[in-house]
Amino acid sequence: MLKFQPLIFPRDGNSHQNIIEWWYFNGQMKGKDGRDYAFMDCLFKADPKRVNIPFLTKVPLKEVYFAHDIVSDLKAKKSYPHIQHLASVTKDSFSWPRLSVDYFNPLKLKGLNGHSFIHEFEPFCYHLKSDNFDLILRSRKKPLLESGKGFIEVCGRKSYYYSLTDLAISGWIKIENKIIEVSGLGWMDHQWADVAYIKDQWNWFSVQLDNHNEMMACEYSDGKRKDILVDVIDRLGKQQSLKELILIPGKRIWKSKITKAEYPLDFQLKIPSQKIDLKISALAEKQEMVFGSINYWEGPTKVSGLFKGRKVKGQGFMELVGYPSEYSNATMIANEIRAVIDGQIELSKNKINTKIAGLKKKWF
């Protein structure tokens, strides 16, 4: 049972021994070429025996890592998703006071492809690197502690959760082998819990307004009841947690050709007591991520409407999870994981054989 202890940084920016944990980043950026882009990057850490994801339960490891990222060219309406079903981390990952993790695709050991990292080089400032981007994100505000203390409960599921809502982005992205210098505004979430995977549904939104207020809003359902979570941070860093949210999906729907899942791409978000009435609209359509039997939509949004009675505009990201799917690539992933483990065993054998050969050459 997860019990609350006050968050302490930089300790709690690092890794924890829980069933599931993730470090998530998103952002919208303007390129030097004048075009608009977006990205999402997330590293997951899980206990394969307790996380209850079918194709991970037989992995003979104490902990597993997997990573998802996507880069979107908003003008061209093209997205470039990348699902890393199993990642290996370097031995010195998570060994420093601040978050520092290097991870790679073990199926591509001979080259640099698949090598990624997240390094917190200053408090709440990060260097992210993957095959498709190389970005610096610097926080201009202290962390937003969801539910007031960074410990939440929705539909009986408890977790630690904090966000960095105002990250200045600079760096490069790669679109079809073209390097583009970018700058923009980003967001970071870090969450960990002793909760196994369950087929719940949620609609999650990060909102960044032009009045320098940011908001995290989530509607969560376990199939029997709904719960909500709303947290706001103002331009000076003052935080407010709310238990009121009216979320109305619009008529604009995108249907996945892969999973047949149907995702609403427009929402009206209302909090009457705070005079908040916002329209949230997706800036791209083909933003679905598929991981075994898990599918979700993850993409950038534009925001407009009223915030505390005043007109605002802004941007954000939207995550739609648990929408019915007719597809699973679990078998393919299981085979890939098996190939990874076999490859690691073979690599270890080769290292041992090389060492033995060297000893024989030296002494005989």
Give me the phi and psi of 101, to 5 degrees please.
-140, 130
pLDDT of the residue at 337: 66
Q: Which of 222, 173, 226, 231 lies closest to 35, judged by CA?
A: 173
Give me the phi and psi of 361, to 5 degrees please.
-65, -35
pLDDT of the residue at 363: 43
pLDDT of the residue at 71: 98
Give me the phi and psi of 99, to 5 degrees please.
-55, 125
Report the run of H or E that residue 351 belongs to, with start and end.
Answer: helix 330-363
pLDDT of the residue at 358: 52
Please state whether the peptide bond connecting residue 10 to the residue before it is cis, i.e. omega within 30 degrees of 0.
yes
Other CB atoms within 10 A of residue 332 CB: 12
Nearest-10 Cα torsion for 46, 191, 97, 89: 30
Strand partners for 249: 267
Q: Which residues of the chain have pLDDT under 70?
A: 55, 107-114, 329-364
| Token representation of residue 245 | 């949210």
Say if domain 18-345 classifies as CATH 2.40.370.10. yes
Question: What is the Cα–Cα distance from 92 to 152, expressed in whole angstroms?
Answer: 31
Do 22 and 44 contact (CB within 8 A), yes or no? yes
Question: Per residue in 251-262, is it b (16+ CB within 10 Å) or e — as a string?
Answer: eeebebeebebe
**Apex CA 245: angle with CA 242 and CA 246, to 5°?**
165
DSSP three-state, residue 264? strand
pLDDT of the residue at 53: 76
pLDDT of the residue at 60: 73
Q: Which residue has the tokens 């539910």?
A: 147
pLDDT of the residue at 106: 77
DSSP three-state, residue 17? coil
Q: In terms of DSSP H, where are the helices of 234-329?
A: none
pLDDT of the residue at 115: 83
pLDDT of the residue at 161: 98
Question: What is the Cα–Cα distance from 160 to 145, expressed in whole angstroms?
Answer: 9
